[in-house]
Amino acid sequence: MADAAFFEGRQTIPLPPGHEVYPLSALKTISSKMEINPVGSVVVTSIVQDQNLGDYVRELRIFSAPVTGAEPELILSVRLHALTVKQLEIMTPAAPF
């Protein structure tokens, strides 16, 4: 006879160590390295205030190189949050681009 708890979606067997489900953590990856090749374009959005959180937000978007007959695809989007606009300003060396 089948276990009724199984069909009702309840867990009847304890999870082994390392497989427990925990609430979302405030811990986040603080360092990551990635290589994207080739890059078609890089877009840095303007700084806007997040109306829900009250902080400031800016995105860095990296698109693929264009392919004939297709639009570039978004490869990576990084959303940055800060308490002040100044923290999201982009600093560059004093050199012509």
Label residue 86 by pLDDT band (50, 70, 90).
Answer: very high
pTM confidence score: 0.60
Higher pLDDT, 52 or 41: 41
CA 84/CA 56 separation, integer angstroms: 6
| Residue 45 falls inside a structural domain | yes
The predicted-structure confidence for 54-80, as pLDDT tens digits, reads as follows: 899 999 999 999 888 888 999 999 999
Give the residue numbers spanning the domain of 84: 35-90
Closest CA relative to residue 44, chosen from 84, 94, 92, 93: 92
The pLDDT tens digits of the residues spanning 13-27 come to 665 555 555 566 655
DSSP line for 32-56: -----SSEEEEEEPPPEE-TTT-SE
Residue 48 lies in a domain: yes
- Domain-located, residue 59: yes
Pairwise pLDDT comparison (29 vs 81), residue with the higher score: 81
Q: How confident is the model at residue 5 (pLDDT cuts 50, 70, 90)?
A: low
Residue 40 lies in a domain: yes
Query: Would you state the pLDDT for residue 1?
Result: 44
